[in-house]
Amino acid sequence: MTSFEEDETEETATCLHMTFYHPCQQDKMMFRCLNFCKREQVRADETAKFGRDSNVCHYNLVDTRVSRIQFSLQFYRKLNSSEFCFEIKNMSKKTKLTVDQTELGYLNKIDLPWKCIICFGDYQILAEIQEGEAMDYFETHLHLAKVPILQETCLPSLQPIPEKGIFPSLSPSHDKRPIEIDENESC
């Protein structure tokens, strides 16, 4: 046997990709202490903490409106399963944390979905979990978004708008003929 054949199989680590956005990130540079575009290993028994206090939080947000510890992420394996997951816990007494549409108060926690948006204050974080096999550690890979993760969406009008721009209820003829509209038109 060659040494190559005797080498242990390399495990891939579960990786948590996080894309950060804040509307004032250019001016206030609140993400300047985060290590973007480089994977970092975190031991499985450590809790990944995000917040203002650099003595406690490995992921430091330089903003006085952020709590000392804003939220934490705990890596774990589901019972009777080989699936690895993350649990997110709101550590802020002042600010609610939203994971997709679920609002978390102080010390509330939930399983982090495989792909979700985490919000608090004006902060938006897209979190995506990439599966791996390693049990002793996971990785984080941070990215910076140049545009908002949550875009304002234009809700469709409840009443169809005719191509001529005149609402049927406002037209003098009160004709009840169907109005043709293009359903592919954007708002």
- List the chain domain ranges: 13-147
pLDDT at 130 over 60: yes
Could you give the percent of the chain with pLDDT greater than 70?
76
pLDDT at residue 8 in the model: 60
> pLDDT averaged over the chain?
84
Q: Lowest mean pLDDT: which of 31-35, 95-99, 102-106, 159-163? A: 159-163
**141 or 169, higher pLDDT:** 141
Which residues are 130's β-sheet partners? 15
For domain 13-147, the CATH class is mainly beta
Rounded distance between C-alpha atoms, residue 176 and residue 93, angstroms:
57
What does the pLDDT look like over 148-176, one tens digit per residue? 998 754 444 444 445 555 544 444 444 44
What does the pLDDT look like over 38-97, one tens digit per residue? 999 999 999 999 999 999 999 999 999 999 999 999 999 999 988 999 999 999 999 999
